[in-house]
Amino acid sequence: MGLHAGQVAPVFISSVALWLGLSLLIVVGRAGHDRRRRPGGRTLVAPRRGGRVERRLLRQADSSPRTESGRWRRIRALRALARVNHPACRTLLPAALADGDVEVAGAAVRSLGDVGTTWAVEELVRALQRGVYFRSRVAAQLERLAPAPGPLLVPLLDDVDPAVRFWAATLLAPYPKLGTPALVARAADADANVRAAAVETLAGRRGKRPLAAALRLLQDPEWFVRVHAARAVGRLGTPADVARVVPLLADERWWVRSAAKDALRTLGLGAVEALRETLVAGDAFARNGAAEVLQDVGYVDELLASGRNRALLDQIFAAGGERLRRLALTRAADAPAVPEREVA
Amino acid sequence: MSPERILLTAVVVSVSYLVVVYTAYIVLVVVGAFENRLRRHESAAEDYETIAASRFTIPVSVIAPAFNEEAAIVESVRSLLALDYPEFEVIVVNDGSTDRTIAVLRDAFALEPFELFARSLFPSAEVHGVLRSGVEPRLLVVDKENGGKADGLNAGLNVARSRYVCCVDADTIFEPDALLRAMRLVVEDPARVIGVASFLTVSENALQTMSEPVGSRSIGWRPLIAFQQLDFMRAFFNNRLAWSRLDFMLCAPGAFQIWRKDVLEEVGGYEPRFSCEDIELTYRVHEHMRRQKRDYKIICLPDNIATTEGPDTVRKLVSQRERWQRVIIETVVHYRRLLFNPRYGAVGLVGAPFYLLSEVLAPLFEVLALVTVPAAVLLGVLDWRVFALVVGTLGFLNASLTAAAILASDVQSRTYRLRDLAWLTVLAPLDLVAYRPVMAWARLKGTWRFLRGDKGWHKFERNQRPA
């Protein structure tokens, strides 16, 4: 090979120099970082009013940088000013929200959450309406600032954009005294996502109208609306409503069946009577769903412990299958003996 | 053609291969550095407290298949249950363990059997039963017949209730904010982000390492573990971050991978026919999504989210890596239709060919170089001084790439102590002569076993721990 050591040597030296340089960078960089972190080292503090740091942050936060570094400097400056609730945030953050850059808008949303004052909440509600950033992230900030946003959310239930109506309905969950009639109306919304959100929020309300809306949506054409409706009935309903949920154990969609089981579990022993009839239903899933719920609410273990109603127990085991029977017997065998006094 | 000429040609071919591969690596390091910087900035500007408290943060089912993990399983489950995340469930799948895995779990978490009717969407070996915890409502244990890790993951997927699943190794210990960090981009854009992987470190004793605070962690003085750590750093910071940026993240590691469950339903879940499940699934998901021309993202993040246990002997390491090599070849061969196929975009045109070149064909060129270069020196075709300088250059070039990975990792997470970082940088130039030959041997062995059609699991034995 026509190569000489003299030709390769510079390449070798360059590679050694590169390794040395990078190693030095690692060690020096880390040592500097550790020094800054030590007690008494340089730490981030609130900028002094009128000081050099404040002027720099204000300049950076108000800039329209073209480079990647400049963009992140602007974001850092916005976050830093928001953390100390700087008065300039009032103009800087709305401007950042209106910026076409999604990262800058995102930083503005988070910063408005940090500021948390009335005007910041209003800006966030406007951001939710305009969709300047991922609505889920704007909603998370509004949720964090509860209860301030509550009254501003009710009018959004009538917004023309279904996405806004959806988020308004969802965000109203922690405000049980706000917007119930409007939410009941939204349970009949043309948009299925809005109906689902409305009934999910209504699950946390008391009264006949929320329950009536939830019961009506148990027959909704969209499966995910039925899911939320079933869960809402589980929370709002009484044993009298169990019969309306039980048919969902045989729903064509898995998630609806699963939600129906959740609802019946929530209704607890109140669901037992209606479930007994389902143990002999034509649909195998409905049968073993009923058996599973009876197991989960503790009814099977209770029957085994008391030794009464053997026929019903056999019916449950027939519906739930051999494994359900075996596991119930195992649990019964493992259960600590109940003292005579307690049985009495 | 004279023997000298043949030898010279072989040497030129080997060196040319190295030049091509190293050039590709340098490009990837640069792209990876940009990606790392972007993610670091994003993470610094992120509001993790709000994500951690929000009910809009998407729930996750964490699935941990376990086979003979009695030594580590309880601590691993505790680290999973200690995750700082608003809503999640932990599903441990006991994959027919022959040791006391299920017994130690039962004792630690007061497990009791119950019947759970779930859909069998994903094929798996027979499930003996499901156990729930009397003390921890978020924990579910699936006890099943042995069927391998992929089979265990499928059994876990069948009972998972969340829209996203996080599949993990049962011998891995997680940072409390692991899910929060990994789900950050999913929360932002769940319609597009269907898969997430993240950086994890390796240790001889993961539990001990994780008990030390971030910034004061030790790598230990054992070169074998330190070399594995360097390997992980290179794999993530020099490769996967760049793949992620270039839209061909081809391997979400099995120790921690997040998937959107509906996508796994579409592709049929994990495939037990392969020697290892992670890379194959990633390839399959890419193929599926690209064929359907769907807008999607599989992302690799630079955040250090966990520590996994690395083999503590060369024999165990070779066993582990030869299996990795086997599955890489199995996958690349199985999905050869992707190679250079513009229909699959960056995956077909760049990712798959890069895997073929840098992983599948590597043992071939490594053997060629190992045989022909010393022969060329002995026969006087190549000057020994040139040989020594070329080896030295490669060693320090490799060390520089490694140092770039150490730098990126440290800037990102500041995990290790300064003296440990110095130790890693000192070890870096020795990687070529001390660690790579072991890897070459493992890869050769893996290639040979692939050619023989061996698909065994050969899981490495757990490291010995002081009582």
Q: State the Rg of chain B over Cα.
A: 22
Q: Is pLDDT of A30 > 70?
A: yes
Rounded to whole angstroms, the Cα distance separating B401 from B135 reads 48
Using the structure block, give the residue that is written with the tokens 């995340």: B85
Closest CA to A149 of A131, A166, A126: A126
In total, chain A counts a number of residues equal to 344
Is A144 in contact with B53 (Cβ distance < 8 A)?
A: yes
B167 and B60 in contact (C-beta within 8 Å)? no
Residues of A in contact with B106 (CB under 8 A): none
The order of strands in the sheet holding B297-309 is B111-114, B127-133, B139-144, B88-95, B60-66, B164-168, B256-260, B193-203, B297-309, B172-174
What integer pLDDT is reported at residue A43 of this predicted model?
A: 46
**Nearest chain A residue to B116, by CA:** A292
Domain at A55-148: CATH code: 1.25.10.10
What residue spans in chain A does CATH classification 1.25.10.10 cover? 55-148, 155-237
B-facing residues of A in 102-121 (CB < 8 A) are: 103, 106-107, 110, 113-114
Number of H helices, E strands in chain A: 21, 0
Task: Out of A34, A72, A292, name the one closest to residue B41 (CB).
Answer: A72
* Tokens representing residue B167 in the block: 């599949």
Domain at A155-237: CATH code: 1.25.10.10
Residues of B in contact with A124 (CB under 8 A): none
Q: State the Rg of chain A over Cα.
A: 31
Task: Out of A11, A291, A292, name the one closest to residue B393 (CB).
Answer: A11
Positive or negative torsion for Cα A257, A258, A264, A269: positive
φ, ψ for residue A160, nearest 5 deg: -75, -30
Task: Out of A33, A76, A324, name the one closest to residue B115 (CB).
Answer: A324
Rounded to whole angstroms, the Cα distance separating A150 from A125 reads 10
Q: Is pLDDT of A288 > 70?
A: yes
Q: Tell me if chain B has a CB within 8 Å of the CB of A12.
A: yes
Q: What is the pLDDT along chain B (467 residues), one digit of tens a residue?
A: 677 888 888 888 888 898 899 999 999 999 999 999 999 999 988 999 999 999 999 999 999 999 998 988 998 899 999 999 999 999 999 999 999 999 999 999 999 888 888 888 999 999 998 999 989 999 999 999 999 999 999 999 999 999 999 999 888 889 999 999 999 999 888 999 999 999 999 998 888 888 898 888 998 889 999 999 999 999 999 999 999 999 999 988 888 999 999 999 999 999 988 877 889 999 999 999 999 999 999 999 999 999 988 899 999 999 999 999 999 999 999 999 999 999 999 999 999 999 999 989 988 888 888 888 888 888 888 888 888 898 899 899 999 999 999 999 999 999 999 999 999 999 999 998 899 999 999 999 999 999 988 766 555 555 554 44
Closest CA to B192 of B294, B297, B288: B297
Task: Out of A1, A106, A140, name the one closest to residue B8 (CB).
Answer: A1
Rounded to whole angstroms, the Cα distance separating A169 from B173 reads 39
Positive or negative torsion for Cα B440, B446, B450, B453: positive
Which of B56, B216, B237 to mutate against chain A (most A CBs within 10 Å)?
Answer: B56
A81 and A51 in contact (C-beta within 8 Å)? no
Percent of chain A residues topping a pLDDT of 70 = 93
Residues of A in contact with B26 (CB under 8 A): none
**DSSP 8-state symbol, B416:** B
Positive or negative torsion for Cα B33, B37, B43, B46: negative
Question: What is the nearest CA distance from A9 to chain B, expressed in angstroms?
Answer: 7
Question: What is the nearest CA distance from A181 to chain B, expressed in angstroms?
Answer: 24
A297 and A266 in contact (C-beta within 8 Å)? no
Which of B42, B114, B237 to mutate against chain A (most A CBs within 10 Å)?
Answer: B114
Q: Based on the number of CB atoms within 10 Å of its own CB, is B190 exposed (0-12), middle (13-18) or buried (19 or more)?
A: middle
Return the C-alpha torsion angle B22, B28, B34, B35, nearest 10: -150
Is A29 in contact with B407 (Cβ distance < 8 A)?
A: yes
Rounded to whole angstroms, the Cα distance separating A237 from A249 reads 17
B-facing residues of A in 169-208 (CB < 8 A) are: 170, 173
Residues of A in contact with B119 (CB under 8 A): 254
Using the structure block, give the residue that is written with the tokens 């072991």: B438
The helix (run of H) or strand (run of E) holding residue A47 is: none
Is B390 in contact with A75 (Cβ distance < 8 A)?
A: no
In total, chain B counts a number of residues equal to 467
Task: Out of B188, B383, B400, name the one closest to residue A15 (CB).
Answer: B400
* Buried b / exposed e along A43-79 (16+ C-beta atoms within 10 A): eeeebeeeeeebeebbebbeeeeeeeeebbbbbbbbb
The helix (run of H) or strand (run of E) holding residue A43 is: none
Is B56 in contact with A139 (Cβ distance < 8 A)?
A: yes
Neighbours of A344 (CB within 10 A): 5
**DSSP 8-state symbol, B235:** I
Task: Out of B129, B161, B393, name the one closest to residue A8 (CB).
Answer: B393
B-facing residues of A in 278-337 (CB < 8 A) are: 285, 288-289, 291-292, 295-296, 320-321, 323-324, 327, 330-331, 334
Helix, strand, or coil (residue B297) = strand
pLDDT tens sequence across A194-217: 999 999 999 999 889 999 999 999
- pTM (two decimals): 0.87
Rounded to whole angstroms, the Cα distance separating B271 from A124 reads 46
Cα distances from A56 to residues A61, A80, A108, B311, in angstroms, run 9, 11, 18, 51
Beta strands in B179-327 (DSSP E): 193-203, 256-260, 297-309
Closest CA to B286 of B350, B358, B344: B344
φ, ψ for residue A203, nearest 5 deg: -60, -20
**Structural domains of chain B, ranges and CATH numbers in brackets:** 49-316 (3.90.550.10)
Helix, strand, or coil (residue B170) = coil
Question: What is the nearest CA distance from A122 to chain B, expressed in angstroms?
Answer: 19
**Nearest chain B residue to A103, by CA:** B42
Q: Which bin fits A235, alpha (ψ -120 to 50), beta or left (φ > 0)?
A: alpha
Q: Tell me if chain B has a CB within 8 Å of the CB of A139.
A: yes
**Nearest chain B residue to A134, by CA:** B188
